[in-house]
Amino acid sequence: MYIVEKQKNGRYAVKKKGASRASKTFDTYQEAILYCTKKNKELGIETTTKEGTNSTVKKKKNSQVSKPKKSGIKMFLLSLLVMIVIVAFIFVFIKYIKPNMDNVGTDSSTTTTNNNSAEGVIYDDFQIHFMMLGNDKAGDSIYIKAGDTDILIDAGSRKGSSQTTLPYMNQYVKDNKLEYVIMTHGDQDHIEAFPNILNTYSADTIIYNQYTTKTTNAYKNTLVAFNKQKNNGANIYYASDCWNNTNGASREYKLSTKVTMSILYNEYYFKTQSDENNYSVCTLFTYDSGTEKHYFMFTGDLEREGEAAMAAYYDGSTKEKTLPQVDLFKAGHHGSKTSSNECLLSLIKPKMCVVSCCCGTNEYTGVTDNQFPTQEFISRISKYTDAVYVTSIYESYEIATKADKENVPGVSVGGNYIKTSGFKAMNGNIIVSCNDTGVGLFASNNLIKLKESEWFNTKIIIDGKERPMRIWG
């Protein structure tokens, strides 16, 4: 049976009872109930028409219709009055009370909340899956589905991550083929699972940046996997060829009737740089419903220099050199202090941001503020949206003291640092989707925003001083 549910954004979703995703959403209750009635009628079920209820009534065959009681009009008027009171309360709560509740304990003076996605909904037309990676390491592995087209951006964070990501992708990849594979750059946490994944799936087109100084086994093994695919008929294109539309490559790829993937400009497609992260292949996905467009942006681990060069190119002087406001921005370099800079954020003004990392671990540094997602990143992104979500988090932590010869970057011997272990879902596998009605947001664990999470608001004592884990704004 089909039911109608009111979403947090005020729209009405029609869904099968017990299902996690909506079949269709509507602006008004009347439109939703008409569609629900039609679907239930096909199943021989009569739909109740009282707004706010999710129940349906089985229609018995050959049953007689009972006559209304004399008190029916009174009951109707009373029900109508109650419904008006409830609607009025909901309006007052959403408009005046809830915003104040959301801001309790946070400094939201510099925060713009411009995300209007439908929470708890997965649309079929276009889906972006930020996958958990099965360990406590930062990394990217993003599966994208556009109609019948399957795309994989990166395959981190370790070789064993494929034991987690492959079963997940198998739910969606039905023909054992990835139409597009993109390696943003050559760091371990973005590539090490590629050999296992490409041993399972074939690939039609592989895109990466030819400039790299990497000589690691992980990088060599990835190139071997790419060449095996090439020998089996795959096209391999450099990002520079994509940008220049040369050697068979294209700057834009039509993924479905409504979805386009564009290779964005990066100065370091064309020259060398000391930081591998700046070689990142950057992409913009556009969903065009015919009446409006939605944009989704990925910049790998692009750092400050790369973002500055990108911002300088997209100066707004022409349509081609103008970046749109994006519905989704994947945080650059896992929410590091050196990425997602104001020069880029001010151009794209993201409505939502997803951070692919294991939140708060001391993998790269013992300096609390610089652990992913960093305080500097949070201070910058908070100006544009509070819809920030993170895939994973450590399972436990302790305040430790650095011993002599212990490798804890950024912490002096005798200094305190947060020592973490294990991992678990924070928001979990995060799915951002889109169809003609708008953008949907779903997560396998919860949809708690970063600033409202337990981790964010935890108080810790480092070197004798109490402090919050993070500060918003």
pLDDT tens per residue across span 434-463 = 999 999 999 999 999 999 999 999 999 999
Is residue 319 a part of any domain in this protein?
Answer: yes
Phi then psi for residue 132, to 5 deg, are -65, 150
35/133 same-domain check: no
Is residue 473 a part of any domain in this protein?
Answer: no
The helix (H) or strand (E) run that includes residue 425 is strand 424-425
The CATH number given to whatever domain includes residue 356 is 3.60.15.10
Could you tell me what percent of the chain has a pLDDT over 70?
88
Compare 363 and 49 and report the one with higher pLDDT.
Answer: 363
Average pLDDT taken over every residue of the chain: 89
Vertex 46, ends 45 and 51: CA angle to 5°? 130
Q: Please state, in angstroms and rounded to a whole number, the distance separating the CA atoms of residues 451 and 470.
A: 8
Question: In this predicted structure, what is the pLDDT of residue 11?
Answer: 77
Question: In this predicted structure, what is the pLDDT of residue 79?
Answer: 76
Could you report the per-residue pLDDT of 84-141, keeping only the tens digit for each?
A: 878 777 665 554 444 433 333 333 333 344 577 899 999 999 999 999 999 999 999 9
pLDDT over 90 at 250, yes or no: yes
Is residue 111 a part of any domain in this protein?
Answer: no
As a whole number, mean pLDDT of residues 38-45 equals 75
174/291 same-domain check: yes
Q: How many domains are contained in the chain?
A: 3
Q: Please state, in angstroms and rounded to a whole number, the distance separating the CA atoms of residues 49 and 65.
A: 17
Residue located via tokens 């964010």: 456
As a whole number, mean pLDDT of residues 159-175 equals 98
Residue 20: give the domain boundaries. Answer: 2-58
User: What long-range pairs does 22-27 form, CB within 8 A, spacing at least 24?
Assistant: 22/118, 22/121, 22/123, 22/440, 24/437, 25/118, 25/121, 25/437, 25/438
21/143 same-domain check: no
Could you report the per-residue pLDDT of 346-366, keeping only the tens digit for each?
A: 999 999 999 999 999 999 999
Burial of 244 (0-12, 13-18, 19+ CB in 10 A): middle
Is residue 108 a part of any domain in this protein?
Answer: no
Could you report the per-residue pLDDT of 199-247, keeping only the tens digit for each?
A: 999 999 999 999 988 999 999 999 999 999 999 999 999 999 999 999 9
Beta bridge partners of 330: 354
As a whole number, mean pLDDT of residues 416-442 equals 98
Could you report the per-residue pLDDT of 139-159, keeping only the tens digit for each?
A: 999 999 999 999 999 999 999
